[in-house]
Structure 1
Amino acid sequence: MCHELTAHTAAIKDFLASNPEEMILKSGAIFSKNQESIIVKYFARNFTVSLSNGEVTAENQQPVSPKDATLILQYLTQCNGLPPRGTWISFLELPQGIHHYVPFLKDACQPISNILSDDPNLFMQRAASLGGRPIKMGDAAALIPAFPKLPLAVAIWQGDDEFPAKANILFDSIAPHHLTTAALWVLGCEMARKMTDF
């Protein structure tokens, strides 16, 4: 929790030091009507970020976890404006991804495999709840817009006598230009949690 709060505090500081117009231009976010905050889509839901204090609120006023709030702030300040490339890379192919690859499989991919790989219909329902749409990969797969310019792909393979069930999360190759590898690790884990927490 201490690390979460430190990352969140740093993200707020960076956000408040950034130019709002530039963040909006690069990230695909928009100004609120009163221009006192920025609205950005995160997993198909609108989140509002106050320009006065960096506080992140959900559209339904539900509490926003420190991890989600930190990711939203980091995306707004770090996104470099380039659109998705439409090519997928694994976590292993991210800068320094090799150092966190095994924990990523355990904390992000494995929960999806454990809970959803045997039920492609439920898997697609859960993906759709995050704004996902079907793509061709594995036994079932979806493109999920984590942020306006940062999509993820998630796929499942049902197990059989020869191979165990598995899931994989892929990143658009533009992802390292929008978030650090550490932040992308958290993003993948948060997507997995949202897909399996029901």
Structure 2
Amino acid sequence: MCNELTAHSAAVNDFINSNLEEIILTSGAFFSKDHNHLIIDYYNRKHYVSVQSGEVTTASGDQVALNDATLILQYIIQCSGLPPRGRWISFLELPDGIHHYVPFLNDACNPISREFGNQPEKLLARSKLLGGIPASLGDCSVIIPAFPKLPLVVVMWEGDDEFPPKATILFDAIAPQQLSTAALWVLGCELTKKLIS
């Protein structure tokens, strides 16, 4: 929890000291009518970021979980402005991804395998709630826009008598230009939570 608070405090500080006009140009966020908030899509839901305090809330005014708030702030500050490339890379291909790869499998990919391995139609239905659209990888796959310029894809291979079901989360090749590898690890874990919950 301490690390989460530290990352969140740093993200708030960076946001408060950032150039809002530049953020609008690069991230896909836009101003609210009163210019008191930036509005950004995150997993198919509009989130509001106070330009004064950096507080992140939902459209109904509820506070969001610390991990989500931190990711939203980090993305709008760090996003390069470059569009997605339409080419998918694994977590291992991210900078220093090898150091977080096993935890990424355990915390992000394996729970998807267990939850949806024999029910790909359930994965497709759940992903629709997050803005997901079917893709053509593996036995079942879906592209999910985490942020306006940062899509992920969940790929599922159904099991058989010899092999259990397997899932993976891939990132658009632009991902390292939009978030750090550590933040992308959290982004994948949050995707899994949202698909399963």
When the two structures are superposed, what TM-score results if normalisation uses the length of structure 1?
Answer: 0.98
Indicate yes or no: 2:127 matched with 1:131: no
Q: Secondary structure at the match of 1:125?
A: helix
The whole-number CA distance in structure 2 between the counterparts of 1:62 and 1:136 is 36
Distance 1:156 1:118 in 2: 10
Quote the offset at 1:60 in angstroms: 2.7
CA distance in 2, matches of 1:124, 1:134: 7
Partner of residue 160, structure 1: 160
Q: Deviation string for 1:137-189 (max 9, x for gaps)?
A: 11111000000000000011111012111100000000000000000000000
Partner in structure 2 of residue 143 of structure 1: 143
Q: 111-120 or 66-75: which moved more?
A: 111-120
Consecutive aligned runs of 4 or more in structure 1 exceeding 3 Å deviation: none
Q: Superposition pairs for residues 33-112 of structure 1, below 5 Å? A: 33-112=33-112
CA-to-aligned-CA distance 1:74-118 (integer Å, 9 cap, x gap): 000000100000000000000000000000000000111101111
Please, what is the CA RMSD of the aligned residues?
0.7
The alignment's TM-score, normalised by the length of structure 2, stands at 0.99
For 1:113 and 1:154, how far apart are their aligned partners in 2? 10
Tell me how far apart the structure 2 counterparts of residues 140 and 58 of structure 1 sit (CA, whole Å): 31
> Number of residue pairs matched?
197
**Letter aligned with residue 73 of structure 2:** L
CA separation in 1, counterparts of 2:73 and 2:7?
Answer: 10
Gapped regions of structure 1 (runs ≥ 5): none
Please give the secondary structure, in 2, of the residue aligned with 1:48. strand
Q: By how many angstroms is 1:62 displaced? A: 3.3
Consecutive unaligned residues in structure 2, runs of 5 or more: none
Looking at structure 1, the residues matched to 78 and 130 of structure 2 have their Cα atoms a distance apart, in angstroms, of 22
Q: State the one-letter code of the partner of 1:131.
A: G
5 Å-filtered alignment, 1:22-33, equals 22-33=22-33
Give aligned-pair identity as a percent.
60
Residue 63 (structure 1) shift: 3.2
Q: Secondary structure at the match of 1:82?
A: coil
Distance (Å, rounded) in 1 between the aligned partners of 2:63 and 2:43: 16
Aligned residue number for residue 11 of structure 1: 11
